[in-house]
């Protein structure tokens, strides 16, 4: 059985500035493009049999620059919909909501393009992704190219944890992680590995 190769897209202007970037499609910065290109050697060693990416430009471009051919896009790999917190930093949110923490307090509704999601809704999307890719692991490794929070939730769900436990898995831009099994039980085999 193959492993899941988890790739967080490279840096964007908003990720650099720590702004919540859910459904707004921000391009990679020059540094983000460098991060993606630097993933080529690690991915050449892993050689995924299938590549599934978020529809976002930042994920698609990361895959391309990392030397991957995207076999399919999956809308369930879009980042958490931050609703009314789209484009805002945690520090700015805490000015009006002292002690606010995404994993505990969630988001407020936004406009029609950013209605917002609960962590449980993100967890259901992650479950659907895992349901679709698990059979593909019989053919080899599967790479998922997406976003920080959705991949953290997906990792928690891979391990059989509540979606809120994604808070335990910090994930930097332009990194590779792998999820596999040990004695037929799901495990993290590597995490948040920067390019060599």
**Does residue 57 contact residue 150 with C-beta atoms inside 8 Å?**
no
pLDDT tens, residue by residue, 77-86: 999 999 999 9
What residues form DSSP beta bridges with 182?
185
Does 183 qualify as catalytic in the annotation? no
Residue 120: pLDDT over 80 = yes
Class level of CATH domain 4-80+118-193:
alpha beta
- How far apart are alpha carbons 64 and 84 in whole angstroms? 31
**Does residue 42 contact residue 196 with C-beta atoms inside 8 Å?**
yes
Tell me what percent of the residues of the chain surpass a pLDDT of 70.
100
Residue 3: pLDDT over 90 = yes
Tell me what percent of the residues of the chain surpass a pLDDT of 90.
96
What residues form DSSP beta bridges with 185?
182
Give 33's contacts (C-beta < 8 A, 6+ positions apart): 10, 61, 65
**Catalytic option among 9, 20, 114, 149:** 9
Does 149 qualify as catalytic in the annotation? no
Please give the structure tokens belonging to residue 187: 């495990």
Predicted confidence at residue 196, as pLDDT, reads 74
pLDDT winner (highest mean) among 43-47, 145-149, 191-195: 145-149
Predicted confidence at residue 77, as pLDDT, reads 98
Give 194's contacts (C-beta < 8 A, 6+ positions apart): 172, 174, 175
Q: Where are the domains of the chain?
A: 4-80+118-193
pLDDT tens, residue by residue, 36-60: 999 999 998 888 999 999 999 999 9
- How far apart are alpha carbons 107 and 161 in whole angstroms? 21
Average pLDDT over residues 176-189: 97
**Minimal CA–CA distance to 15: which of 2, 25, 4?**
25
**Does residue 154 contact residue 142 with C-beta atoms inside 8 Å?**
no
pLDDT tens, residue by residue, 65-75: 999 999 999 99
Residue 131: pLDDT over 90 = yes
pLDDT category, 140, cuts 50, 70, 90? very high
**Catalytic option among 3, 11, 33, 79:** 79
pLDDT category, 195, cuts 50, 70, 90? confident
Mark out the alpha helices in the chain (DSSP H runs).
Answer: 13-16, 30-38, 40-46, 57-65, 90-96, 102-105, 119-133, 148-158
Give 44's contacts (C-beta < 8 A, 6+ positions apart): 67
**Does residue 32 contact residue 174 with C-beta atoms inside 8 Å?**
yes
* Predicted structure pTM score: 0.97
């Amino acid at each position: 059985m193959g492993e899941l190769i988890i790739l967080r897209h490279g840096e964007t202007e908003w990720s650099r500035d720590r702004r919540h970037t859910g459904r707004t499609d921000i391009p990679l910065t020059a540094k983000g493009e460098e991060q993606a290109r630097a993933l080529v050697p690690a991915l050449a060693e892993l050689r995924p049999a299938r590549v599934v990416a978020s529809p976002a430009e930042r994920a698609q471009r990361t895959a391309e620059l990392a030397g991957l051919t995207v076999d399919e896009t999956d809308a369930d790999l879009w980042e958490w919909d931050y609703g009314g917190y789209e484009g805002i930093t945690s520090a700015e949110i805490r000015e009006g909501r002292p002690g606010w923490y995404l994993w505990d307090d969630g988001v407020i509704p936004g406009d029609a393009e950013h209605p917002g999601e609960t962590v449980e809704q993100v967890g259901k999307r992650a479950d659907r992704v895992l349901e679709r890719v698990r059979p593909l692991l019989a053919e080899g490794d599967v790479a998922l190219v997406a976003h920080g929070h959705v991949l953290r939730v997906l990792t928690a769900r891979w391990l059989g944890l509540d979606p809120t436990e994604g808070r335990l898995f910090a994930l930097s831009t332009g990194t590779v992680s792998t999820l596999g099994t040990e004695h037929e039980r799901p495990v993290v085999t590597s995490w948040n590995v920067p390019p060599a």
